[in-house]
Amino acid sequence: MDFTHHLFRCSSLGHLMTDVQGKTNFEKWQDAQSRFDRLKTELSEIKQFDAKGKEMKSWQNKAIAVQKAREMAAEFELIKDEVELSETARVHLSDIHTQATTGRQTDITNKFIEKGLMVEEDGITVYSRVKKKFFKKNETHLKNLFIMGTPDLYEGNSIHEATAVPDIKCSWDLYTFRRTFVKKLNQLYYWQLQGYMWLTGALNAPLAYCLVNTPEPLIEAAKRSLWFKMGQPDEGNITYIEGCAEIEKSMTYDDLPLNQKLLEYVVERDEAAQELIKKKVIAGRKYLQWLDDELNKKQA
């Protein structure tokens, strides 16, 4: 297959953008250059010849070290600007390759994703009511030469002339919702929003965590799970009844005021971050092509 023009989804950019462990090529070049400069200074400060005019062994050894340091710095200078891919990125690229070449999906469904998909419109409603502005789910799919994606919402004349692209994330429960206030910004979301801003030209992207009621099928599933864990008690079992009532309370929030159901964090457009996305995409495409070629050789 030809991966030279592969478009990466904004929702998965965070996997591609993860940092490599250890020092980058640029940092290695800096270290090598610093060592070369230090050794060169040390060489200039020691005597080259003894009283008989013979070149001293200590100077010769230092000169050899300087030459080796110069060569190493030169080697790293050639690759100092090359973008590296982390192990996380390479694993993600392997998954992309597997899907592209076999048409098979990985099973990534869980209760958190299920709820998010089921209550997306409810989240948009919460956001609209708190902001006192009507928002409608965007259905326009966007792409450029590097990435593609479908932002949730937008402000502005159109999705192509957006000033902001709010993104709705519906939390699983009250605890995960409140934790967003004390945790660092999820980097998967940061890079997703940088992608959306790049596609639309928006200046910022509000990351809107919304607290909405859990859909009835998921509540019933939680009750069934409790029933099995308790050894399938009678429906009149008081402990089971109290447990179901606690499940209802923990998964529905009609008693909370509207303003307590939205926590918003604004991500600003970063041109440098978007330039880095370009470089990572180019590196990712090269890796996908290499992976395809090598697997074909291995499995020939």
DSSP 55: B
pTM over 0.75: yes
Q: For residue 155, what are the β-bridge partners? A: 164
pLDDT of 129 > 80? The answer is yes
What pLDDT, on the 0 to 100 scale, is given for residue 132?
96
Percent pLDDT > 90 in the chain is 82
Phi (first) and psi of residue 143, to 5 degrees? -160, 155
For residue 29, what pLDDT band results from cuts at 50, 70 and 90?
confident
145-154 average pLDDT score: 97
What pLDDT, on the 0 to 100 scale, is given for residue 64?
95
What pLDDT, on the 0 to 100 scale, is given for residue 108?
64
| pLDDT tens-digit series, residues 166-203 | 999 999 999 999 999 999 999 999 999 999 999 999 99
Q: Is residue 166 a contact partner of residue 128, using CB atoms and an 8 Å limit? A: no
pLDDT of 2 > 80? The answer is yes
Burial of 16 (0-12, 13-18, 19+ CB in 10 A): buried
Q: How far apart are CA 104 and CA 153, in angstroms?
A: 30
| pLDDT tens-digit series, residues 260-276 | 999 999 999 999 999 99
Q: Which amino acid is at 94?
A: S
Q: How many CA atoms lie within 13 A of 135 on its CB side?
A: 28
Domain ranges within the chain, ordered by starting residue: 21-83, 107-213+253-298
Q: How far apart are CA 277 and CA 273, in angstroms?
A: 6
Percent pLDDT > 70 in the chain is 99
pLDDT of 99 > 80? The answer is yes
pLDDT of 238 > 90? The answer is yes
Domain 107-213+253-298: give its CATH code.
3.90.320.10
Relative to beta strand 155-156, strand 162-164 is antiparallel
Instruction: Tell me which of 51 and 88 has the higher pLDDT.
Output: 88
Question: Both tokens of residue 197?
Answer: 């801003």
What pLDDT, on the 0 to 100 scale, is given for residue 104?
86
Q: Which of 102-116, 143-157, 210-224 has the lowest mean pLDDT?
A: 102-116
E strands of the chain, at which residues? 8-9, 142-143, 147-149, 155-156, 162-164, 167-170, 204-210, 262-268
What pLDDT, on the 0 to 100 scale, is given for residue 109?
65
